[in-house]
Amino acid sequence: MNPLVFALSGALTPEGHLLTQRVYYEDTDFSGVVYHARYLHFMERGRTDFLRCLGIEQAAMAAGPDSLVFVVHRMEIDFKASARMDDVLTIRTATEKAAGAKLILNQEIRRDGALLIAARVIIAVINARGRPQRLPAPLIEQFSAASAS
């Protein structure tokens, strides 16, 4: 993997995947505070780069003969505090559970160590026909190895 792409994708750590993102004007409302729906964007980037760092290529998985796709099934979000323009955020993503046709991830968004957002994301694994599909054993192993210690 290109080292620059890896650096842009964050890093796998014992605490889970960590991705750093800056808050831009486009992320805020008229008061300079991050608009609540924009946190979903930050968390999606965290999940996508988590997969990338695990070596999971979503496009290849979806295009293969036994296509698999990850879709958000349910998300529980606790908004603890607000971020503002120019803040530097850390998005942490860690596996809670990987089994059957489901993946459960825990995500946090922090600023200077302070917890802003906590989320539990339930991901469904589906095939090309939109039907639930069991996670293959190698993927379960990859996700389980990436759980926070």
Helices (H), 55-110: 58-63
Q: What pLDDT, in 10s, does the model give residues 89-147?
A: 999 999 999 999 999 999 999 999 999 999 999 999 999 888 999 999 999 999 988 87
**Which strands make up the sheet holding 114-126, listed edge to edge?**
11-13, 16-22, 88-99, 102-111, 114-126, 69-79
pLDDT in tens, 43-86: 999 999 999 999 998 888 888 778 999 999 999 999 999 999 99
Residue-wise pLDDT for 4-36, tens only, equals 555 789 999 999 999 999 999 999 999 999 999
Residue 66 CA to residue 121 CA, distance in Å, equals: 24
| From 29, 49, 86, 87, the catalytic residue | 29
Specify the pLDDT at position 145. Answer: 85
- Give the model's pLDDT for residue 149: 60
Instruction: Dig out the tokens for 71 from the structure.
Output: 């879709």
pLDDT band per the 50, 70, 90 thresholds, residue 148: low
Q: What is the pLDDT of residue 37?
A: 96
29 is catalytic: yes
Which CATH number fits the domain 3-145, given the four candidates 3.40.109.10, 3.10.129.10, 2.60.40.1930, 3.30.1330.20? 3.10.129.10
User: Residue 64's pLDDT is what?
Assistant: 74
> Among 46, 45, 75, 56, which residue's Cα sits nearest to residue 140?
56
Domain boundaries in the chain?
3-145
